[in-house]
Structure 1
Amino acid sequence: MTRTKICGITRESDLDAVVAAGADALGLTADVTVDTPREIPVEQAAALAAAVPPFVTSVLVTMPDTVERAVELVERVEPDAVQLHGALGPEDVAAVGERAPAQVIAAVDATDADVAAYADAADALLVDSVDEQGGGGTGETHDWERTAELVADFGTPVILAGGLTPGNVAEAVETVRPFAVDVASGVESADGVKDHDAVRRFVERAESAVVGV
């Protein structure tokens, strides 16, 4: 069964709705270099991470410019995993994994020349539609067939993101066969505010999608 991550949580009421919907993970966006309505202060991210119940994974989504900053943020927020966007190369990602008390997810573009190196360095790959600044959350889909090739090529878990909604997530799962799917704007009623019914439908449709042999 494909796992689900709901990203860009800004309120405890949305956190509760995501947990009630049965999502496997939720993302908290802090200390990023792009303009997004889903960014929250590091202190708020820490408070929300502390409110995540057992068996649900909290993920800090961030864009540090150094390994040291990444480790510092993980120590302050105390998430189960950290999702790294931006400038850190594969060696830096591996260093974060060695030093930070959290699993490491590397956000990549499916066409990135270093994608194999990132797969070796990280605990998981998040394949997203990346903007010019290296940030995800664009709300745009990308070439699912290319991501499906990454799933087939690597043993590292692949998380599919970019332009997913309750309306297309089943097709995405059936096409790519990812370890997990990730959504932010596709389940919102307003910028940074989750539509609880859309969250529920997204989780249900992702988990019930039929993946062929």
Structure 2
Amino acid sequence: MTVRAKICGIRSEDDLRIALAAGADAIGFISGITHFSEDALDAEHATALSRLAPPFITRVLVTHLEDAAAIVDLADRVGVDAIQVHGLVTIDTVRDVRKTAGGRKIIKAVHVTGPEAIAAARRAAADCDAVLLDSRTADRLGGTGRTHDWSISAVIAHELRDLGRPVVLAGGLDPDNVAAAIHAVRPYAVDVNSGVENTVGDKQLDACAAFVSAALRSSDQLGTE
């Protein structure tokens, strides 16, 4: 199993260039927010960066919007390949997004704040193409820089694997802990944002490359276990 790597919070041409040079499989543009994010872009800026991305890399819209039509409209404007529904939305909304998204893959974020996340992920799995497990705080739906209880995420990944639904692990990951996270949870993919940034929020090539390399090495190790 090859664990894929997404670098989220792309907000400049330099960020984009660095993520591509690091070998990321996917990149995330954060737009349409209801909670604070330093990396939020307006639709025009996100669209400009999306157009610069080369073929064969997955462009993901990460949005907090809670209306299905608004989510799909923003995805159309930005020109992405997948939609990460990261807001506090109902399953009905996720279902409506999936029906109208023009075949784009839909990723539903589930915040792992306790064991109740297991049931939430199971419910979400029926109406999306992948479940992303993230940390959250009172004022942030992502980009917290905090890990959560990986033992809960491991249970979710195991249950959803049996259902044929991939799990993406996020929340406080960085080049130093991603190998341990992969070993503990065995996700389909890992997602990083603040863990590969400098103090002013710009992506760093060494950190991004180290993150992707660690994910690949961990994939090889899982394959021999």
TM-score for both structures, normalised by structure 1:
0.95
Question: In structure 1, what is the Cα distance between the partners aligned to 2:187 and 2:120?
Answer: 20
- Deviations along 1:29-87, one digit per CA (max 9) or x if unpaired, are 11111222111111111111111111110001111121111111111111001111122
**What is the CA distance between 1:132 and its match in structure 2?**
2.9
- Is 1:126 equivalent to 2:132 in the alignment? yes
* Root-mean-square deviation (Å): 1.3
Question: In structure 1, what is the Cα distance between the partners aligned to 2:101 and 2:47?
Answer: 15
Aligned to 2:181: 172
Question: In structure 2, what is the Cα distance between the partners aligned to 1:130 and 1:35?
Answer: 11
Question: In structure 2, what is the Cα distance between the partners aligned to 1:49 and 1:17?
Answer: 14
- Deviations along 1:120-169, one digit per CA (max 9) or x if unpaired, are 11111110002235611111001111111111101211000001010000
Aligned to 1:206: 215
Question: In structure 2, what is the Cα distance between the partners aligned to 1:130 and 1:118?
Answer: 17
Aligned to 1:144: 150
| 2:4 partner letter | R
Question: In structure 1, what is the Cα distance between the partners aligned to 2:66 and 2:158?
Answer: 31
Aligned to 1:95: 96
Aligned to 2:193: 184
- Is 1:29 equivalent to 2:35 in the alignment? no
Aligned to 2:120: 114
Question: In structure 2, what is the Cα distance between the partners aligned to 1:197 and 1:89?
Answer: 39
| 1:169 partner letter | V
- Choose the corresponding residue for 1:195, options 193, 204, 222: 204
**What is the CA distance between 1:191 and its match in structure 2?**
3.7
| Percent identity (aligned) | 43
Provide structure 2 residue ranges, at least 5 long, that are not aligned to the other structure. Answer: none
Question: In structure 2, what is the Cα distance between the partners aligned to 1:146 and 1:39?
Answer: 29
Asked if the contact 1:85–1:135 (Cα under 8 Å) also holds between the matched residues in 2, the reply is yes
Alignment coverage as a number of residue pairs = 213
Look up the SS of the partner of 1:193 in the other structure: coil
| 1:199 partner letter | C
Asked if the contact 1:86–1:133 (Cα under 8 Å) also holds between the matched residues in 2, the reply is no
Aligned to 2:159: 153
Aligned to 1:8: 9
- Deviations along 1:175-209, one digit per CA (max 9) or x if unpaired, are 11100000000000134310111000000011111
Question: In structure 1, what is the Cα distance between the partners aligned to 2:49 and 2:87?
Answer: 23
Question: In structure 1, what is the Cα distance between the partners aligned to 2:59 and 2:174?
Answer: 21
Quick one: structure 1 residues 35 and 78, their matched pair in 2 at CA, closer, same or farther if it must change by over 3 Å? same
**What is the CA distance between 1:119 and its match in structure 2?**
0.8
